[in-house]
Structure 1
C-alpha cells in the first residue's frame, strides 16, 4: 500500500512567486489528507494533478492566515465535481467560525456535507482502516496543534516451513493463519498464528509540526517517524527573533529529530520570506550538522514513505 507526502507549499507569512504558503498532502492509496491550506494550495494540487475530490479530511494547525487562506478555494473547487462523501475539517478553536464565515460572506455554492470538528484536548482526532491521526499541543501565539499519522502494526512475516512442520496444508488455512485466525492441522491439532508468524512489524508514521517554540515534549510525539515535516523558519543567528515570534530555527528542528530517536528523515518547511532559494542552504547546513538526514522541502516535492522492511 503506497504512502506519499506531497509538499504543496513551503513558505511562511507571505507567498512568493516560487514558494506558496505551507501545506502538505498525504496520500495513502486513493485516500488523501491535507495538512494546512495556505495560499497557493489549490494551484499546487492542480499542478501535481492530484484528485482533490478524494480529500477525506483537512487538518489545520492553527487559524493564522498563512495556514488557512487557501481553504475557501479548496471548498469551492470540490463543488465543481460530484462528491458523495462528506469532507471533514479538523482544527483548534475558531476553525468552525472561519469556515462558516467564509461560506456566508463568499456565498459559496457547496454541494456536499462539511463536517467541522474543533480540537479541545490532545489525542486521536481521526481514524481509518488500520491507521489513526492524533493531535498534540504546540506553543504559538494562538492555539496550535501538531499532527501524527500512524498506521497500526502489521502482522509478522509468515513462515511456510513452520506451517508445513505443524501439518497445516498449503491453501486457505495458510491465509487464515496470516489473518490472525487459528486453524486445525491435518492431524487434528490446533495451530495458532503466533506459531507460524514472526513478530509484528511497525506501520508507517508521518509527523507534521509547524509554528511553535521548540520544547522537549515534541520529541516524544514524533519519535520513530518515517518522515518528520517540521518548520525551520530561521537560521541560528535569529534564535531570539524566533523565540519572540514563537517559531523555531532549522537547528532546533534538527535537535528535536535527534532527541526523538528513530526519525528516518526530517523535511524542513515554513521558511521565512527573508530567505532566497540560495539562502535556504544555510538553514539546511545548520540542520544537517546536527541531524544529517535533513532535506529542504520544496514546493511540489514528493516524499514516498516506505515500510522499513
Structure 2
C-alpha cells in the first residue's frame, strides 16, 4: 500500500480471504478446478479442432459453436488457473494490475458469450424458418460480421468504460473471494459508487436481459415454425428440437447464473451463494457446453471419429 493522504492509503494489492481458515474446502475446490479445467480444455479444444479440420462442419452453426468454444476457453483461463494457485495459500495476495486485468478479461469474455448465444439463437431461427434460403442469409460474410460485432460490442461496453474511468481503491484491501471477482472487488471502491452501480445495472440489462428477450422471441418463432412442419417431416421436427434443445440448455445455465450474479441488489458482504454462483458460470457452464453440444450431436461425433481414424 501507498499513503495518499492523512487518513487514506492507496491499495496496490489485494488479499483474497474468501476461503481463509478452511483448508479442506480449498483442497476440495482445487480438485474441482483441476478436473473441470482439464475437461474444459479437452472438450472445447476438440470442438475447435474438429470443426476446423472437417469440411462437413463448415457451416454457420458450427462456426458459431467454434467461437463459443474459444470464448469458453478464454473465459475459464482468466480465473481457474489463478484459483488453483490461490487454493494452496490461506491468504493469497494479488497485485492490483493483475487483479484488475482478471476482472476486465472476465467481463469481456462473459459479455461476449451472452451476445454470441443471442446470435446462435438467430442462426437457429433462420435455419428452421427459412431452410431453403439459410445459406444465402447466413453467408460467410454475415457470419464473420456477427462474430466481429459480438467481440467489438463486448469490448465497448466492458473494457472501454473501465479504461476511461479507472477504479480507485483505498483503505481496505481484503476481498472476500478466491479470485478477483468484479462484484467482490467493486465493494472496495473508495469513491462514490452510485453512478458505477447504475452503470453496472445498465450494462447488465444490455448484455443479459435484452439478449435473453431476443432469444426467447426467436425460440417462440422457432416453435411456431416447427409445429407448422408437415407430419411427414417428423424426423425433421425431432432434429430441430434436438438442436435447439442443446442451445436452450446452455442459455438457461448461463443466463440464470449470470442474472443471479449481476442483477440481484448488492450487499456490503459477499455471501457463500455469490461464490457458488461464480463457480457455476465460470467453471460448470464452460465444462458442460462441449458435452451438451458435442455428445448429443451426431455430426460432431461423426467428425470426431473420422478425425481419430485419420490419425490412426
TM-score category by the smaller chain? under 0.3
Higher helix share: 2
TM-score by length of 1: 0.28
TM-score, normalising length: structure 2: 0.28
Of Structure 1 and Structure 2, the greater strand share is in 1
- The structure showing larger relative contact order (alpha-carbon pairs under 8 Å, at least 6 residues apart) is 2
